[in-house]
Structure 1
Amino acid sequence: MSELASQQCVPCRGGVPPVTGDELKALQTRLGGGWTVVDEHHLEKAYTFDDFRQALDFTVRVGEMAEEQDHHPDIVLTWGRVTVTIWTHKIDGLTESDFVFAAKSDALHR
C-alpha cells in the first residue's frame, strides 16, 4: 500500500496551481499502479468485482470516505465494476490530495 494512504486530504482553498510535470510524475510513482493520469487533469481507475453487490459495497465505502475526507470523486457503478475519477474541482486540476484519495481508495479495495 502506498504511504499516501496514511495521509489526510487537505481542503483546497483555490488559487493554487495544479501539479504538473515532474511533480505529477513523482506523485504517480508514489501512488503505484492502476491509476491513469488523464491530460494532467484527473486520475482515473476502474476496479473490478465478482458481482454487483461487491461493487456497490465498495462504492458506498468510497462515498463514506469522500465525506470523511471532504474530497469528492466521480464514481460510476456498473455490474462488477466501479470507475473512480478524481480531481480538485476548485482549481480544475490535480493536487496532492487527489493522489492521497486515490491511495485510500486502493486501500479500501484490498
Structure 2
Amino acid sequence: MAQQTLLSDTEIADALTELTHWARSEDSIVRTVTAATFPAGIELVRQVAEAAEAADHHPDIDIRWRKVTFTLSTHSAGGLTAKDVALAHEIDRLAARPA
C-alpha cells in the first residue's frame, strides 16, 4: 500500500471551507449527523460502510440513538490525508440523501 501524504494545516483549512459540516479535532475531522429516526441513522452507517470498504478507508463511527458521529483520520499516516477529505465528501453526499 502506498504511503499517504499528510495534508498541511493550510490544505486542511482549505478542505474545511468546502466541508462545512466538519470540524477539525487534532489529527482528525469530525461530523455528527442527526437522522430522522434510529433506523435512518443505521441505514446511513450501512451506506457509509459500503463507501468506506470500496475506498479501503474506514471511519470511526459512534451511534447514539439518532446521532451518528463520523471521525476521519489516516491512522497509518498519523493524521489527515486526501483519503479523509474524499471520504468526508462522500459521507456528506450520503447524508444529504432523503431518508
Same fold at TM > 0.5: yes
Does residue 75 of the first structure (1) align with residue 75 of the second (2)?
Answer: no
Runs of 4+ in 1 over 4 A off after TM superposition: none
CA RMSD of aligned residues (A): 1.4
State the Cα distance separating 1:22 from its structure 2 match: 1.4
2:36 to 27, 50, 54: 50
Provide, for residues 43-86 of structure 1, a one-character-per-residue CA deviation record: whole Å limited to 9, x for no partner.
10000012110000001101111111111000111211110000
Does residue 13 of the first structure (1) align with residue 2 of the second (2)?
Answer: yes
- In the alignment, structure 1 segments of 5+ residues that lack a partner are 1-11
Take 1:61 and 1:23, find their aligned partners in 2: how far apart are those partners?
Answer: 27
User: Percent identity at matched positions?
Assistant: 29
Take 1:96 and 1:74, find their aligned partners in 2: how far apart are those partners?
Answer: 17
Give the number of the structure with larger relative contact order, counting CA–CA contacts within 8 Å between residues 6 or more apart. 1
Quote the residue 1:33 is aligned against.
20
Does residue 104 of the first structure (1) align with residue 90 of the second (2)?
Answer: yes
- In the alignment, structure 2 segments of 5+ residues that lack a partner are none
State the Cα distance separating 1:32 from its structure 2 match: 2.7
1:91 to 74, 77, 84: 77
Take 1:17 and 1:101, find their aligned partners in 2: how far apart are those partners?
Answer: 16
Query: Helix, strand or coil: the match of 2:24?
Result: strand
Take 2:19 and 2:12, find their aligned partners in 1: how far apart are those partners?
Answer: 13
**TM-score, scaled to structure 2:** 0.88
2:80 maps to amino acid:
L
